[in-house]
Amino acid sequence: MSEQRKPAEEYVVIRHRPGYRLRRSVILLVFTVIAGVAGYAVGMAQGGFRFTSAEASNERLEDQVATLKANYREARQKLVNLERGKLIDEQALNQARTIIVDLEGRVGELRSDLTFYKNIMAPSETSKGLQVDRFSLTSDREASVYSFKLVLTQVGNNKSYISGLVAVNIIGMRDDKKEVIALRDLSQDIEDLGVKFRFRYFQDVEGKLALPEDFEPLEVQVVAQAEGRKSAQAERTFNWNDLTEN
């Protein structure tokens, strides 16, 4: 028998390249590292940009807050200054009003004094010689207690002195009856029924009087009597309500 031959086996011939696989692995690793580094760099670049923008925005906000705080402090200080200025203005205004009232009162007094002296120095034909110029009352702190002031004048001929006595009586009602009380009985400053006077131009008689609790005053009667060469009498009656209404 003839021996059957086996088909011949096929072989693939591969070229042998020493280190190829190693080089390829190294190249892939290098590209991978480069890609990773590049991606990280890009990410850092973008992240750094965002951080810089946020930091700049934060700085602008801090500047705005600082400006607002400064404006607030300035506005508050202006408000405090305005309030203080308002108080000062109000005080100054009140002081000015008080001064004006005082000056107006003083002007009124000066005008009254001027009229008073004019009447003494240059009287009319109907008012010459001894005159009861005025009688005034000012309420005291105590009830029914008053300060009084009587002014006598010599009008016209003032070259020589005039002297005499003046009597003051308070006329009123007590127990539904008319009663006349001498000033001496109401005032510790008056000792006699008639108060002595001696002057060339004018003389004041001042003091305090206290009314009885059950006495209702109505009028004040003043009678002045000059003695000697200039003998004359001057009489005047004042309404109590007119004297005390102010």
Q: What pLDDT is attached to residue 224?
A: 95
Q: What is the pLDDT of residues 157-179, one digit of tens each?
A: 778 899 999 999 999 999 999 99
Instruction: Indicate the pLDDT class of residue 51, thresholds 50, 70 and 90.
Output: low
Instruction: Indicate the pLDDT class of residue 2, thresholds 50, 70 and 90.
Output: very low
What does the alpha-carbon distance between residue 240 and residue 172 come to, in Å, rounded to a whole number? 9
Q: What's the distance, CA 128 to chain centroid?
A: 51
Q: Worst-scoring range by mean pLDDT, 22-26, 122-126, 195-199?
A: 122-126
**Average pLDDT for 100-117:** 80
* Protein fold of 125-244: Immunoglobulin-like (2.60.40)
Which has more pLDDT, 109 or 46?
109
Does 146 score more than 90 pLDDT?
Answer: yes
Q: What pLDDT is attached to residue 91?
A: 86
What does the alpha-carbon distance between residue 181 and residue 219 come to, in Å, rounded to a whole number? 11
Q: What pLDDT is attached to residue 197?
A: 94
Q: What is the pLDDT of residues 63-105, one digit of tens each?
A: 888 888 888 888 888 888 888 888 888 888 888 888 998 888 8
Which has more pLDDT, 173 or 41?
173
